[in-house]
């Protein structure tokens, strides 16, 4: 990122950079990307960063934090010390966080400066970023359409130039979906690649694999790699930028292409012509890059839709709300919580076991190749309000139809990256997804850099 070089060289100050992006945020309130903006604390942090940068320039050292003076923002699902957290819900007043979430703490230690909190769906449940506490996040390519979710505010902010990049979180596609909708590179790391994601273990209280991981949203593979280096385990820091730097050397990977979705047994999942064209173009370009590309047949458990839905919403049963609070939930959240409360612990644990079994199965199927290529989103981003206007079950089903290739990767615990390929006739981005083996985050970023070069 040229911004980092400019800061290190003293060509621009951290205060100037923070002020620039804060002005951009204020000028684009129409996008609904931010729930809160922390101007004063951001400028205080920028002044401290300038002092540290001055010291670094006078006595250069490899220990200089890699993101020193670079601004970003965090989703309103994670705690940032001193900032409000609402989790996108009207059930209670936003609370001022006392401590940083572990991923936030790691990025703060890397020198980043938080400018505020970005818009999310209630409790991160949906793949569109609309709730009852703030304006919906809007897609910079078409303000009438959603930027996706649950990292929708973050993606809108990055795509519109309100942030240089941003961390997101992905429990069923929540980094990759908004990245695809907003024309960004979105990396979902494998479970455990970001240590702050697994501080409480690798399974939840019902025995389901932990689905949610943290990953970068950026306008280029190089920027995503820089942010990922700051989030990763210590032994991998630097590996992602190095892989992108040496991307031209990467060749001869085996790539399996597939348009199969585990939702197909339960739902009609039509793919738009643009989604299929992006998939075909990506396969052709990977072959031109010297990779070995072949179609593959993957067989998915036909009951996936049911047990994934049960496992995905199980944690809603742990929300301790009184009747008045429950009435302030979004209709989808309220219905899904009622269903979760109606299931027994045995049923929740059975769904967890099925998810673990599904993960083992697909890791085995996909593990016969280096990379699995799938389409990205099944269709163009729906319009603001389109999901929420439907009855809750239909709302949820439309979300699954729009995003038929993302949640399965979370269940598998593997890394995946989404890459924009072109814009459609309406000027909306269209992209694809690449799924890698465990530990292949640097490789996925290198392939993204290769495809960017076309």
CA dihedral 241, 246, 247, 252 (to 10 degrees): -130
Active site (annotated) includes residue 174: yes
CA distances for 91 relative to 83, 259, 323, 324, angstroms = 18, 40, 10, 8
Give me the helix-helix angle, 331-341 and 392-402, nearest 10°. 100
The catalytically annotated residue of 169, 174, 214, 315 is 174
| H-state helical runs in 110-149 | none
Phi, psi angle pair for 139, to nearest 5°? -80, 125
The catalytically annotated residue of 150, 151, 261, 407 is 150
87 Rama sector, left if φ>0, alpha if ψ -120 to 50, beta otherwise: left
Active site (annotated) includes residue 407: no
Picking from 386, 125, 435, the residue whose alpha carbon sits closest to that of residue 261 is 435
Phi, psi angle pair for 27, to nearest 5°? -75, -15
The catalytically annotated residue of 75, 117, 188, 401 is 75
Active site (annotated) includes residue 58: no
CA distances for 5 relative to 1, 25, 67, angstroms = 7, 23, 10
Picking from 155, 413, 451, the residue whose alpha carbon sits closest to that of residue 290 is 451
Q: Which two tokens stand for residue 111?
A: 């020198």
In angstroms, rounded to a whole number, what is the distance separating the alpha carbons of residues 406 and 410?
7
Active site residues: 75, 150, 174
């Amino acid at each position: 990122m040229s911004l980092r070089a400019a800061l290190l060289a003293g060509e621009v100050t951290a205060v100037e950079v923070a002020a620039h992006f804060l002005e951009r945020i204020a000028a684009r309130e129409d996008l609904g990307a931010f729930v809160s903006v922390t101007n004063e604390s951001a400028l205080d942090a920028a002044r401290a960063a300038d002092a540290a940068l001055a010291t670094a320039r006078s006595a250069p050292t490899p220990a200089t934090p890699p993101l020193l003076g670079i601004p970003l923002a965090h989703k309103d699902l994670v705690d940032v010390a001193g900032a409000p957290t609402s989790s996108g819900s009207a059930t209670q007043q936003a609370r001022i966080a006392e401590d940083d979430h572990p991923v936030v703490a790691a990025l703060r230690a890397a020198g980043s400066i938080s400018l505020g909190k970005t818009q999310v769906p209630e409790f991160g449940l949906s793949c569109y970023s609309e709730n009852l506490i703030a304006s919906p996040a809007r897609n910079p390519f078409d303000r009438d359409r959603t930027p996706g979710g649950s990292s929708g505010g973050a993606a809108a902010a990055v795509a519109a130039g309100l942030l240089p990049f941003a961390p997101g979180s992905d429990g069923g596609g929540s980094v990759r979906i908004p990245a695809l909708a907003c024309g960004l590179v979105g990396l979902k790391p494998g479970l455990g690649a970001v240590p702050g994601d697994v501080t409480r273990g690798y399974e939840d209280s019902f025995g389901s694999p932990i689905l949610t991981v943290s990953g970068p949203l950026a306008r280029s593979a190089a920027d995503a790699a820089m942010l990922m280096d700051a989030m990763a385990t210590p032994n991998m820091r630097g590996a992602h930028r190095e892989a992108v730097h040496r991307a031209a050397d990467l060749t001869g990977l085996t790539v399996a292409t597939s348009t199969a979705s585990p939702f197909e047994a339960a739902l009609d999942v039509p793919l738009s012509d643009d989604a299929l064209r992006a998939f075909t173009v990506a396969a052709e370009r990977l072959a031109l890059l010297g990779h070995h590309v072949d179609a593959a047949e993957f067989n998915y458990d036909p009951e996936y839709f049911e047990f994934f839905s049960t496992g995905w919403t199980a944690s809603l049963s742990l929300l301790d709300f009184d009747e008045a609070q429950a009435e302030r939930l979004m209709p989808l959240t309220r219905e899904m919580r009622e269903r979760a409360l109606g299931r027994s612990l045995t049923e929740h644990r059975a769904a967890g076991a099925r998810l673990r079994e599904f993960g083992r199965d697909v890791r085995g199927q996909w593990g016969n190749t280096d990379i699995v290529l799938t389409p990205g989103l099944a269709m163009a981003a729906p319009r603001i309000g389109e999901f929420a206007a439907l009855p809750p079950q239909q709302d949820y089903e439309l979300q699954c139809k729009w995003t038929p290739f993302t949640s399965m990767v979370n269940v598998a615990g593997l890394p995946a990256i989404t890459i924009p390929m072109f814009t459609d006739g309406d000027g909306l981005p269209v992209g694809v997804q690449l799924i890698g083996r465990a530990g292949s985050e640097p490789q996925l970023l290198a392939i993204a850099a290769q495809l960017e070069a076309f």
